[in-house]
Amino acid sequence: MTQTALIVIDVQNDFCPGGALAVAGGDQIVPGINAAMDAVGAVILTQDWHPADHSSFASQHPGKAPMEMTQMPYGPQVLWPDHCVQGTRGAEFHPALQANRADMIIRKGYNRNIDSYSAFFENDHKTPTGLEGYLRTRGISRLVMVGLATDFCVNFSALDAVKLGFDVTVRRDLCRGIDLEGSLDAALEGMRQAGVALA
Ligand code: VGL
Ligand code: ZN
């Protein structure tokens, strides 16, 4: 039987107000995400999960400040403030998120030398996280995506999911964006063109 999964992207303290890489209004989407869990056959949470010396952190690049760009072997990379460090409070899910309802929690960004925005592949677009196999073996073909941030992890996850052949809806009302130099509009347009349904 075809099943729908809710993919809840990175609803963690560091992406909410007061966190290290706070997304405006990031906490406002939590009640709606909890409610959306009732309507699906499976709930999957992703968790950004970096070692303290992760290469996406500006602190690892002398002379660079957060939000500046750098070149990585796999392409351009935004340098972020230190965030979602493994085992810290910032990496924990927002306390109001009903994380105990998750069938599975997938962690990403744990390899020091490569960032991983997408729930499916690291930023080389090749190294899989294992989520595709998990969904397929459970017979899940429809995905509803929500969470943080619209223009980074939600965007990359949605684009990979349509490429892999999943039927993908992004609930815009249950996402919030970072919006670096127009990245939010660009992400919405890119998702639309790729065949992501924006609801
Ligand atoms: C994210 C920047 C760095 C996200 C994760 O969840 O969108 N953004 N790490
Ligand atoms: Zn990150």
* pLDDT digits 0-9 by tens, 142-180: 999 999 999 999 999 999 999 999 999 999 999 999 999
Minimum CA distance residue for ligand 1 atom 6:
153
At the fourth CATH level, the homologous superfamily of domain 3-50+85-198 is Isochorismatase-like (3.40.50.850)
Residues 86, 91, 97, CA angle at the centre, nearest 5°?
A: 145
* pLDDT digits 0-9 by tens, 48-100: 999 999 999 999 999 999 999 999 999 999 999 999 999 999 999 999 999 99
Residue ranges of domains in the chain: 3-50+85-198
Minimum CA distance residue for ligand 1 atom 1:
153
* pLDDT digits 0-9 by tens, 184-198: 999 999 999 999 999
For 44, list phi and psi in degrees, rounded to 5. Answer: -120, 130
3-state SS string over 100-114?
HHCCEEEEECCCCCC
pLDDT value at 43 more than 80: yes
Ligand 1 atom nearest to 48, measured from its CA: 5
Q: How far is CA 134 from the centre of its chain?
A: 17
In the chain, % of residues over pLDDT 70:
99
pLDDT band at 1 (very low <50, low <70, confident <90, very high): low
pLDDT score recorded for residue 2 = 72
pLDDT score recorded for residue 68 = 96
Ligand 1 atom nearest to 56, measured from its CA: 3
Identify any residues that bridge with 149 across adjacent strands, giving them in sequence order: none
Ligand 1 test: best mutation among 152, 184, 191, most atoms within 8 Å of CB? 152
Q: Assess whether the C-beta atom of 151 lies below 6 angstroms from ligand 1.
A: no
Q: Is 163 considered catalytic here?
A: no
The mean pLDDT of 110-126, rounded to a whole number, is 97
- Residue of 108, 151, 160, 175 marked active site: 108
Complex ipTM: 0.98
Q: Are strands 197-198 and 42-48 parallel, antiparallel or unpaired?
A: unpaired
Q: Assess whether the C-beta atom of 48 lies below 6 angstroms from ligand 1.
A: yes
